[in-house]
Each structure stands twice: as structure tokens, then as C-alpha cells.
Amino acid sequence: MGKGGSLSESVVKKIFLSYTYVAIWIFLSFTVIVYNKYILDKKMYNWPFPISLTMIHMSFCASLAFLLVRVFKLVEPVSMSRDLYLSSVVPIGALYSLSLWLSNSAYIYLSVSFIQMLKALMPVAVYSIGVMFKKESFKSETMLNMLSISFGVAIAAYGEARFDTWGVILQLGAVAFEATRLVMIQILLTSKGISLNPITSLYYVAPCCFVFLLIPWIFVEYPVLKETSSFHFDFLIFGTNSFCAFALNLAVFLLVGKTSALTMNVAGVVKDWLLIAFSWSVIKDTVTPINLFGYGLAFLGVGYYNHSKLQALKAKEAQKKVSQADEEANRLLEEREGEGLGKRNESQD
């Protein structure tokens, strides 16, 4: 009885911790998005400098990642040669910097709710780019699913009250660069047996991002900031904003490490709906019925895609277990045959 009780307690504890990690990730992801919108929006804090904000994030995150990896040694670094860094990490850093720059820029022109709806196109972009680079196999059923997601997002865009063409171009560009980055991680790092968690990823990629962002910043934002003599760096605003961005990476580390990537996908759906509700109720962004209908269609498509991926993963794992069991059975059979042969030789002697 006691054993059964202790087992149920451990299961309850595990479930409680899983939900805690999910809640922390949703809260931090939610906070970073709303905080970035607050800083960049001209009607709020009115600091429309997305490259500068992203550079502040990268320098802060790179510094803290360096402390965790090199000074406090809480996270093990990955052994990486200079050639590997230049050929693999640098291209990923370039794509990441472009993705962050464009996605932060979109907050100046679009509502938080509409941006979340456009982000539903991420599986479409990842699958399409994966097929282009031969990392995904083309399937008519999957492509039909991708078209249904795209159709849903198109309806949501049609119903958007504050539609801004430039803002949509920026957000779609951010989705395209982020999807390419995710595929490139598979091609340039995972295929070579290199796995980066969010902390080691920041340690290697954040300095690279900072350097890439420095080039457009010198020409685009620096001249404007130079003339804005009234601006004073607000350490409280930018410090807490950067800390939230870093804490979000830690939360991803915990969530994926202690649960699974699928849990993060499901949590992401919950977060998106919460952001849409928050955008409508608190920020007073207009969310139309056509918006919700379109996003609902896209949401069902994304849910089906995640379900299909999970089923494929389960089938792969089951096949792997069967092959391992076969290998183990063959090994035992060989051992027994060897033992039998040894005994026969002994009896003949």
C-alpha cells in the first residue's frame, strides 16, 4: 500500500513539475512579446529601433551565457573547431539575426494578435524549406494540410482591421528566415552530431548575431539615434526586458529537457490564444470574427500537423525498439550456440 502511495505521489509530483515548467515558459514567452511590443510601439514607450533592441538582447544574453558556461561552469560547452564554427554557426547566426530583426520590426506596424496569427505559417515554411533542401519528403497529404493552414491565415489577414502591407512583409520575412534557420540547424549541426541547448546556443550564436546586426545598425538606426539627443538609456526598462529574453531561453531549456518538444508545441498554442485574448482585452487591439475564424482553421491545420508528426515519431520509436529487440535476440542466440559448441568440444575431449 505504501509503495503504491509513494508511486502515485511521485507521478503527481512529476505532473505538477511539468505543468510548472509549461506555466513558466508561457508566462515568459508572453511577457517578452508584450514587452517588446510596448517598447517598440509608437503609441506606447515609442522607441522604434528594433535592431538596437535586438542587439541589446544579444549582448546581454551572450554575457550571461559566457558566465554560465565559462565562469560558473554550470553548462558544458560543445567542442567546436574554428572551421566548424565558421561553416555552421555563422550562417545560423546570420539567419537568426535577420529573423529577430524583422520579427521585432513587425511590432511597430502590426497588432500582437495578428502577428500570432501570421506565425501559424511557421510549419508551412519549415516543411516547404525542408522539402527544398531534401530534409523532408514531399507528401500530397502534408502539402494539402499546409495549404489549409495558409488558407486559414489568408482569411485571418483578410479580416484584419489594422492591416499593414509592410508589417506583413516583415513578419512573413521573419517566418521565412526562422524556418530556414531551423532547417539549417538540422543540416549544419544535427547531421554532424552536434546538439546545442538554448544556453550553449546563445553562447555560440549570440555574439555572431550581434556582429551581423551591427552592420545594418550603423547605417539604419545609429544616425537617427545620434540625432535623438533627448534619449537616455533606461536601464530598468532595457535591463528587465533583456533579462526576460534570457530567462525565456532558460525556460525553453527546462521545458524541452524535462518534458518534450511536443509539450512545447502544445504550450505554444495555449500561449498564442492567451496573447490574442490579451491583445483584444488589454491592449484594445481589434480582433474581428473573420480573424478568429481564419486563425481557427489555421490552428486546426497546425494541430493536425503536430499530431501526424507525433504518430510518425511513435512509429519510428516502435520500429527502433523492435530492431533493438531483434539484435538482442540474435546476440543471445549466438552466445547460446557458442556455449553449446564449447560444451560439445569439452565432452569430445
Q: What is the DSSP string of 21-86?
A: HHHHHHHHHHHHHHHHHHHH-TTTT----HHHHHHHHHHHHHHHHHIIIIIS--SPPPP--HHHII
Residue 164 has what pLDDT? 95
Q: Are 121 and 172 in contact (CB under 8 A)?
A: yes
Residue 245: predicted pLDDT: 92
Query: How far apart are the C-alpha atoms of 342 and 181, rounded to whole Å?
Result: 57
Query: How confident is the prediction along the chain (349 residues), in pLDDT tens digits per residue?
Result: 444 455 567 777 877 887 888 889 899 999 999 999 999 998 899 899 999 999 999 999 999 999 999 999 888 888 888 999 999 999 999 999 999 999 999 999 999 999 999 999 999 999 999 999 988 889 999 999 999 999 999 999 999 988 999 999 999 999 999 999 989 988 888 878 888 888 898 999 999 999 999 999 999 999 998 887 666 788 999 999 999 999 988 887 777 666 666 677 777 878 888 999 999 998 888 999 999 999 999 999 988 888 888 788 778 777 877 877 777 777 777 777 666 655 556 666 5
Could you give the CA distance from residue 98 to residue 197 in angstroms, rounded to a whole number? Answer: 21
CA separation for the pair 207, 56 (Å, rounded): 11
- Cα–Cα dist 77/88, whole Å: 16
Phi, psi dihedral angles at 140 (to 5 degrees):
-60, -40
